[in-house]
Structure 1
Amino acid sequence: MAWIVLVLSGVLEAVWATALGRAEGFTKLVSSIVFLVALVCSMLGLAYAVKTLPTGTAYAIWVGIGATLTVAYGMFSGTEPVSLAKVLLIIGLIGCVIGLKLVHDGS
């Protein structure tokens, strides 16, 4: 269950990061509310996950999921430039997240 919560929390990290960018210094009400709700839920999920998973592993996976989805969303929405190097690095990041999960399960 901790892994599922961790993945969902990573998704919420991408939501709050994207909302933060759209909040324009917290001058946009809806984006600011989305940021705050997603941030709190994401942190609560991470806190739940680290009760049973190693903190370093959980945090790295949480950040990796959030960063990957945030950049990917930016690329798809046109707010983030797309390049072959970025795509390859994001694929590498995904590989590292999967690797951390596999190494954890193997020990």
Structure 2
Amino acid sequence: MAWIILLFAGLAEVGWAVGLKYTDGFTRLWPTVGTVSAMVVSLFLLGLALKTLPLGTAYAVWTGIGTIGTVVLGIVLFGESAALLRLACIGMIVAGIVGLKLVTEV
């Protein structure tokens, strides 16, 4: 269950990271409210996952999910580069997350 909670924490991290782009420097009310809400949810869920998962593993997976999701949405929403080398680097992050999941005893 901790891994599922951690997945949702990572997805909420994607939400606030992408939300930052829409806040326009925290000058737009509703995007700011949504972004701050996603931050709170993300950290709350990470805290719950940390009850069971090791700190280093949980934090690495949380930031990895956030990184991957933010890159994908950056490509889709903002026209950022989808260069092969960039995607290969993201693939290595995915491999690292899978590796951590496989070697963590929980």
Report the TM-score when normalising by structure 2. 0.95
Amino acid at match of 2:15: V
Pairing 1:37–2:46 present? no
1:98 aligns with 98
Cα RMSD after superposing both structures: 1.2
1:8 aligns with 8
Gaps of 5+ in 1: none
1:57 aligns with 57
Deviation at 1:81, TM superposition (A): 1.8
Whole-angstrom distance in 2 between the partners of 1:42 and 1:82: 27
Whole-angstrom distance in 1 between the partners of 2:86 and 2:31: 27
Whole-angstrom distance in 2 between the partners of 1:80 and 1:15: 17
The number of residue pairs the alignment matches comes to 106
Gaps of 5+ in 2: none
1:82 aligns with 82
**Alignment deviations for residues 37-63 of structure 1 (CA, whole Å, 9 cap, x no partner):** 100000000000011110000000000
Whole-angstrom distance in 2 between the partners of 1:35 and 1:18: 8
